[in-house]
Amino acid sequence: MKSRVHFKIGKLFALTIMMIWISNGQPPFSERTDLQTIIASLDSSAGRAHSDGRKIIIMLRFIDFGCQPCLQNFFELCDSFGTIQRRSLTIPVYLLFLRDKTGSGYQLTTMTKWARSCGLQYPIALISQKVFHNYGIEHSSVLIMNKNGTIENCGEIPLSRNTFKNILRMIDT
């Protein structure tokens, strides 16, 4: 009887260690709440080198796209980023969607298909409400992160014309 208990505990311990290893050193079921960690994870899983310069992070609540001006402003911004990137500037863009109540696999697949159908070829991740709160974000927003991980600029979608221009000016320098 005692050896069965030890076997089950050993098996449980081994499974726990495997889960930690599979999740890149994160304890099982933990959520990443630091943007730098989330971005590094996206870069790693995409097999691309981690960018040391500025980064564009778009934190999205899909429900905000029920607002036509918000959706239009988002697409205008993405078109502008595409134009800047075509001129050989390599500022990475990341789409981080607020996690909803559907299954994470289903939501990630849905958001990825939606983004690709819109011509957006950016890395995508699901994030919790806690990440939004950690950065003082209430609605879909665009953040410019510098090489030190500091947020240099932040604007809520729909961006005002002035904020829109300032963000483009920052990344096109």
**CA 121/CA 41 separation, integer angstroms:** 17
Residue 172's closest CA among 82, 73, 43?
82
Per-residue pLDDT reduced to its tens digit, 18-68: 333 333 333 333 456 789 999 988 988 866 665 668 899 999 998 998 999
Q: What is the DSSP string of 9-63?
A: HHHHHHHHHHHHHHTTTPPTT-----HHHHHHHHHHHHT-PPP-S-EEEEEE-GG
CB neighbour burial string for 136-170, b if at least 16 within 10 angstroms, e if fewer: ebebbbbbbbeeeeeeebbbbbbbeeebbeebbee
**In tens digits, what is the pLDDT along the chain, a chain of 173 residues?**
555 444 434 443 443 433 333 333 333 334 567 899 999 889 888 666 656 688 999 999 989 989 999 999 999 999 998 888 777 667 889 999 999 988 989 999 999 999 999 989 899 999 999 999 999 999 999 999 988 889 998 999 999 999 999 988 888 76
**CA 96/CA 53 separation, integer angstroms:** 19
* Global pTM value: 0.77
**CA 173/CA 171 separation, integer angstroms:** 6
Find residue 83's DSSP bridge partners.
none
